[in-house]
Amino acid sequence: MKIRALFLLWLILLVASPAPAAETAATSDRTLLIHVKTLLNGGTDRTVLVPQVVAAALKRGFKVVLLFDAEGVQSLKMGRWFGGHSTPLDRVKIAPRERQHLAGLLGTTPDGLPDIYGSMLHFLRGRGVAVYVSRQALQLRRIGDAQFDHIAEVVDEERIVELLAGAGMYVSY
């Protein structure tokens, strides 16, 4: 009798265990990781493209993860030659036409959006976008702990691998 009960319990556990795995797979299939490896500033079209892709993914119900790595960490670096508390993204205005496009993707009005890309990053984080920055890339670029926008959570290589492995879709800028 006990053997039969143990066998039945084992069978129930065996049948029930694929469900969490299937749920994890479904979540990862709905996760887009955007790997920002180049500087986002006024001199590159990527500064416009990244928020568009984020907004389009959010509109379709995807979970979005932004990972700033390599040269991309400089996008979050605070300061200028003469000091200041701004990043390269804070110094790039969003053109009216771009605000209109982003508003359509995000289901809001252009007036409801920030007017600079640094604030747009904070706005998107408020919409559920996870923002990370590579610790090693910060160190290689000699960006200290107080020298970057802490909207991004600092992660090590192991966490980066987890983020990459957990994403069903990947795009690099």
Distance, CA of 43 to chain centre: 22
Q: Give tens-digit pLDDT for 58-79.
A: 999 999 999 999 999 999 999 8
Q: Please say whether the beta carbons of 110 and 99 come within 8 A.
A: yes
- pLDDT tens profile 96-121: 999 999 999 999 999 999 999 999 99
Q: Which helix (H) or strand (E) holds 34?
A: strand 31-36
Model pTM greater than 0.85? Answer: no
Domains, the chain, with CATH or none = 25-172 (3.40.1260.10)
